Structure 1
Amino acid sequence: MTSIRLKPAYLNLYPEFALACRRDAWCINHGNTTGFDEQQTRVWLDTLAREQPQGLLYLWHHDSPIGQLELAPAMARMDGSLGGYIYLLYLVPQWRGRGLGRWLLEQALQQIRAAGSTSAGLRYLPTNLAAEPFCLRQGWRKEGPVDEQGQLLVKDLIPLMPTTRYANANAT
């Protein structure tokens, strides 16, 4: 994968690529572009690029962007721990089915781990028929019911400590 690189997205240089990725992802999830809000998407991309400098990345093959990754590597949880979240994992159609999705997902998880997060989350809509089997094969698990935002999947990033059972000293 020496010709494949993941680099920060510079919206001022390739703004239409980010928008096209989001538009196609919407179409995959909803079956068409009805309801896709270009202005709201531009605001989201600008906000993500500003607030999470490593949260908006392009996947490059030589001199062409071929994918997009959007994530928050570390967000504080109610219990004080950190969790990462993947907003979008996207490859242009001609690059799908070549193993790059797994590679891109692993790159996202490496960034999330490096930020100190102990788990990661993402959501998919059940209408995206490829998402569920792909994620489950990568070790993600469903959490909670499907709602208007889709199905939440989570992945623990550090192994849980094995439970040690001690014999009760008072047992007879």
Structure 2
Amino acid sequence: MQFERIDIKQHRDEIVKFRKDSFKVSFGDTSTFGSEEDYLRWLEEKIADFPEGFVLVKEDGEYVGQLELSIREYNGENIGYVNLYYLIPEKRGNGKGKELHNYAKQFFKRNKVDAYHLRVSPTNTSAIKFYRKIGMEEFGPEVGGKVIRMKGKL
């Protein structure tokens, strides 16, 4: 797998499609996605701060996934934050997620954090199973129970 920095102009169709699909998998539909333009503006700001954290995943010349990684402050300390782990449906469940996770761990190590968090929908049981398998623990519900915060250590 290759990891290619996101260029919003060049990759617009893929990144919007992948992000929307992640909402469908997590929440059952894309009704809470918001506007594409708002997402692209947010992405542009984040890429400016963490260009190596926002990448498309390519395999055999085809885009098959996306990572959105950043560093943020949480309870007085800097942590890694996974905004998105995404693989197309055909690539899920066969060990490819570990390759994305390895990229994320290296990104976090380069940015000198030793813990990382993410949020996941409680209905996304396959993602929760994967996160537990890679050593993450549930931290607790957030956003009125719509998501679960999970944390991991490097």
Q: Same fold (TM over 0.5)?
A: yes
Match for 1:29 among 26, 29, 36?
26
Match for 1:152 among 118, 137, 149?
149
Q: Report the CA distance shift for 1:75/1:32 in structure 2 as closer, same or farther (over 3 A).
A: closer
Corresponding residue for residue 103 of structure 2? 107
Q: 42-51 or 113-122: which moved more? A: 42-51
Corresponding residue for residue 5 of structure 1? 2
Q: Which runs of 5+ in 1 are unaligned?
A: 158-172
Q: CA deviation at 1:123?
A: 0.7
Q: Deviations over 1:23-50 (max 9, x none)?
A: 0001111111223222322222222222
Q: Distance in 1 between matches of 2:78 and 2:125?
A: 30
Corresponding residue for residue 134 of structure 2? 138
Corresponding residue for residue 42 of structure 2? 44
Match for 1:58 among 53, 56, 59?
56
Q: CA deviation at 1:10?
A: 1.3
Q: Distance in 2 between matches of 1:53 and 1:45?
A: 10
What TM-score do the two structures reach when normalised by structure 1? Answer: 0.81
User: Does the 8 Å contact 2:53/2:107 carry over to 1?
Assistant: no
Q: Distance in 2 between matches of 1:12 and 1:39?
A: 12
RMSD of aligned residue pairs (Cα, Å): 1.6
User: Does the 8 Å contact 1:22/1:41 carry over to 2?
Assistant: no
Aligned pair count?
152
Q: Deviations over 1:118-142 (max 9, x none)?
A: 1011110112121111111111011
Q: Distance in 2 between matches of 1:118 and 1:101?
A: 20
Q: Distance in 2 between matches of 1:120 and 1:22?
A: 20
Is 1:88 paired with 2:84?
yes
What TM-score do the two structures reach when normalised by structure 2? Answer: 0.90
Corresponding residue for residue 163 of structure 1? none
**Max Rg structure:** 1
Greater per-residue helix proportion: 2
Q: Report the CA distance shift for 1:41/1:91 in structure 2 as closer, same or farther (over 3 A).
A: same
